[in-house]
Each structure stands twice: as structure tokens, then as C-alpha cells.
């Protein structure tokens, strides 16, 4: 279950960092913070994939995310 949380955190962090990177490029600024957040999200995703027995399939990701969200709401 811990790896499910890592996967979800990595996905959310990565999804939030992409618009920040695009905004920095559009404003002609260096995207230091958003690039660091993106690299951190990739590292978290790699850790979740490596620690989960058998890894994750692409088809499993939506179920994992919804399971984590449901666990947080409960």
C-alpha cells in the first residue's frame, strides 16, 4: 500500500510541475523549481515501481490512484 501512495504522489507532483515548466518557458524564465519537482516526481515514480512486487502495469494505475483517493477520504 505504501508504494501505491508513492505512485500517486509522484503522478500528482509530475502533473503539477508540467504547467509550471511551460509557464516558465513562456515567460522566458529558467524553470529551476518546476524542473526539480519534475525530477523528484520521476524519482518517486521509479522508487514506487521498483519497490512494488512485480511492478505496475499501465492498466493498473487508474485503479491504484482511485484506491488511494478512497483510502484518504475514508
* Digit-coded pLDDT (tens) for 18-62: 999 999 999 999 999 999 999 999 999 999 999 999 889 999 999
Q: What is the pLDDT of residue 74?
A: 87
Q: Which residue has the cell 515548466?
A: 21
Full DSSP string of the chain: -HHHHHHHHHHHHHHHHHHHHHHHHHTT---HHHHHHHHHHHHHHHHHHHHSTT---GGGHHHHHHHHHHHHH-
pTM of this prediction exceeds 0.85? yes
pLDDT above 90: residue 1 = no
The reported pLDDT for the residue numbered 68 is 96
Give the cell for residue 52: 512494488
Amino acid at each position: 500500500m505504501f508504494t501505491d501512495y508513492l505512485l500517486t504522489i509522484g503522478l500528482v507532483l509530475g502533473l503539477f510541475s508540467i504547467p509550471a515548466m511551460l509557464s516558465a518557458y513562456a515567460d522566458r524564465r529558467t524553470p529551476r523549481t518546476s524542473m526539480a519537482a519534475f525530477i523528484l516526481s520521476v524519482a518517486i515514480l521509479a522508487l514506487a515501481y521498483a519497490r512494488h512486487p512485480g511492478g505496475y502495469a499501465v492498466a493498473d494505475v487508474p485503479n491504484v490512484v482511485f484506491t488511494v483517493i478512497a483510502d484518504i477520504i475514508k
